[in-house]
Amino acid sequence: MKAPRNKRLMGKRNPRRNRQRFGGFFLFILVGIFLLFVFRFSYIVVSGHANDENLTKKASALYQSSSVLRAKRGTIYDASGTPIAEDTTTYSIYAVLDKNYTGINDKKLYVTDKAKVAKVLSQYLPLDRATILRRLNPANSKTFQVEFGTAGSGLSLTIKQAIEKADLKGVYFTETPARLYPNGIFASHQIGLANAKTTTTANTTTSNLKGIMGLEKTLNSTLTGTNGVKKVEKDSYGYQLPNTKAKEKAAKNGKDVYLTLDSRLQTYLETLMSSVQTKYQPEQLNAVLMNPKTGQILAASQRPTFNPETGSGLGNFWRDTLVGDAYEPGSVMKAFTLAAAIDSGKYQPNSTYQSGQVTVGGTTVHDWNNTGWGTIPLSKAFPLSSNVGFVHIEETMGKDKWLSYLNKFQFMSKTKSLLSGEVSGSIQYEHTSDQAVTSFGQGINVTMMQMMQGFSAIANDGKEMQPQIVSKVTDPATGKTTKYKPKQVATPIKKSTAKQVLAAMEDVTYKDYGTGGAYKIPGYKIATKTGTAQISNANGGGYMTGDSNYIFSVVGMAPASNPKYVLYITMKQPQKMTDPATEILAQIFNPLMKRALDYDAGTTATESKATMPNVTGQSVSAATAALKKQNLTTVQIGTGNTVVQQMPLANEVILDDQRALILTNGAMTMPDVTGWSKSDVLKLAELTGKKITIKGTGYATKQSLAAKGLLNSAQSITVTLSKP
pLDDT in tens, 36-74: 766 666 655 555 555 555 545 544 444 555 667 788 999
Distance from C-alpha of 677 to C-alpha of 665, rounded to nearest angstrom: 26
The confidence score (pLDDT) of residue 49 equals: 57
Residue 244 is which amino acid? T
pLDDT in tens, 115-147: 999 999 988 888 889 999 999 999 998 899 999
Helices (H), 328-408: 334-343, 381-384, 387-397, 399-408
Same-domain status, 36 and 172: no
Q: Which residue has the higher pLDDT, 546 or 322?
A: 322
Residue 613, pLDDT above cutoff 70 = yes
Sequence-ordered list of residues with C-beta below 8 angstroms from that of 668, at least 6 positions apart, any chain: 126, 637, 638, 688, 690, 710, 711, 712
Residue 682 pairs in a beta bridge with: none
Q: Please state the rounded mean pLDDT for residues 539-565.
A: 90
Q: What is the CATH number of the domain that holds 640?
A: 3.30.10.20
Residue 390 is which amino acid? F
Q: Which residue has the higher pLDDT, 522 or 621?
A: 522
Specify the 3-state DSSP secondary structure of 406. Answer: helix
Task: Give the pLDDT band (50/70/90) at residue 602.
Answer: confident
Instruction: List phi, psi (to 5°) of 283.
Output: -65, -40
Q: Pick the range with the lowest mean pLDDT from 59-73, 74-88, 99-113.
A: 59-73
Same-domain status, 370 and 503: yes
Residue 159, pLDDT above cutoff 90 = no
* Dihedral (Cα; 603, 606, 607, 610), 10-degree rounding: 140
Same-domain status, 312 and 453: yes
Among candidate residues 128, 156, 120, the one with its CA nearest the CA of residue 618: 156
Residue 651, pLDDT above cutoff 90 = no
Task: Give the pLDDT band (50/70/90) at residue 603.
Answer: low
In a domain, 59, yes or no: no
Task: Give the pLDDT band (50/70/90) at residue 239.
Answer: low
In total, how many domains does the chain have?
4
The confidence score (pLDDT) of residue 607 equals: 42
Same-domain status, 517 and 666: no
Q: What is the CATH number of the domain that holds 281?
A: 3.40.710.10
Query: 416 near 449, Cβ under 8 Å?
Result: no
Q: Which of 532, 567, 601 is the last residue of a domain?
A: 601
In a domain, 448, yes or no: yes
Q: Which of 259, 292, 314 is the last residue of a domain?
A: 259
Averaging pLDDT over each range in 174-183, 327-336, 536-545, 689-698, which range is the top one? 327-336
Concatenating the DSSP letter of every residue in 176-190 gives: EEEEE-TTSSSSHHH
Q: Which residue has the higher pLDDT, 692 or 24?
A: 692
Q: Which residue has the higher pLDDT, 527 or 107?
A: 527
Q: Which residue has the higher pLDDT, 51 or 258?
A: 258
The confidence score (pLDDT) of residue 279 equals: 92
Distance from C-alpha of 363 to C-alpha of 442, rounded to nearest angstrom: 13
Same-domain status, 589 and 614: no
Distance from C-alpha of 673 to C-alpha of 687, rounded to nearest angstrom: 14
Question: What is the pTM assigned to this prediction?
Answer: 0.77
In a domain, 346, yes or no: yes
Same-domain status, 289 and 314: yes
Q: Name the DSSP class of 53.
A: E
Same-domain status, 594 and 653: no
The confidence score (pLDDT) of residue 314 equals: 86
The confidence score (pLDDT) of residue 63 equals: 52
The confidence score (pLDDT) of residue 687 equals: 79
% pLDDT > 70, the chain:
86
Task: Give the pLDDT band (50/70/90) at residue 28.
Answer: confident
The confidence score (pLDDT) of residue 45 equals: 54
* Phi-psi label, residue 573: left if phi above 0, alpha if psi -120 to 50, beta otherwise: left
Q: Please state the rounded mean pLDDT for residues 597-611.
A: 65
Residue 5, pLDDT above cutoff 80 = no
Residue 234, pLDDT above cutoff 80 = no
CB count in 10 Å sphere of residue 551: 24
Q: Name the DSSP class of 503.
A: H
Q: Which residue has the higher pLDDT, 217 or 721?
A: 217
The confidence score (pLDDT) of residue 204 equals: 63
Same-domain status, 711 and 634: yes
Distance from C-alpha of 465 to C-alpha of 294, rounded to nearest angstrom: 6
Beta strand 633-637 with 659-664 is parallel
Query: 405 near 336, Cβ under 8 Å?
Result: yes
In a domain, 353, yes or no: yes
The confidence score (pLDDT) of residue 608 equals: 45
pLDDT in tens, 351-367: 999 999 999 999 999 99
Count of alpha carbons within 13 angstroms of residue 619, beta-carbon side: 3
Q: Which residue has the higher pLDDT, 69 or 379?
A: 379
Q: Please state the rounded mean pLDDT for residues 530-544.
A: 83
Concatenating the DSSP letter of every residue in 70-82 gives: PPPPPPEE-TTS-
Residue 195 pairs in a beta bridge with: 210
Q: Please state the rounded mean pLDDT for residues 628-633.
A: 80
Query: 361 near 433, Cβ under 8 Å?
Result: yes
Same-domain status, 33 and 148: no
In a domain, 56, yes or no: no
Among candidate residues 475, 101, 450, the one with its CA nearest the CA of residue 257: 475
Q: Which of 601, 624, 646 is the last residue of a domain?
A: 601
Same-domain status, 282 and 186: no
CB count in 10 Å sphere of residue 673: 24
Residue 543 pairs in a beta bridge with: 536
Longest dimension (CA), the chain: 147
Domain range for 35: 2-47
Q: Please state the rounded mean pLDDT for residues 408-437.
A: 95
Specify the 3-state DSSP secondary structure of 284. Answer: strand
Residue 379 is which amino acid? S
pLDDT in tens, 186-227: 999 999 999 888 776 655 667 789 999 999 999 999 999 888
Distance from C-alpha of 478 to C-alpha of 665, rounded to nearest angstrom: 43
The confidence score (pLDDT) of residue 9 equals: 47
Same-domain status, 306 and 389: yes
Helices and strands in the chain: count of H runs, count of E runs: 21, 35
In a domain, 60, yes or no: no
The confidence score (pLDDT) of residue 126 equals: 83
Same-domain status, 481 and 425: yes
The confidence score (pLDDT) of residue 639 equals: 79
pLDDT in tens, 264-300: 999 999 999 999 999 999 999 999 999 999 999 999 9
pLDDT in tens, 462-495: 999 999 999 999 999 899 999 999 999 999 999 9
Average predicted confidence (pLDDT) for the chain:
87
% pLDDT > 90, the chain:
56
The confidence score (pLDDT) of residue 50 equals: 53
Task: Give the pLDDT band (50/70/90) at residue 1.
Answer: very low
The confidence score (pLDDT) of residue 433 equals: 94
In a domain, 313, yes or no: yes
The confidence score (pLDDT) of residue 724 equals: 62
The confidence score (pLDDT) of residue 246 equals: 66
**Residues involved in catalysis:** 331
Q: What is the CATH number of the domain that holds 174?
A: 3.90.1310.10
In a domain, 211, yes or no: yes
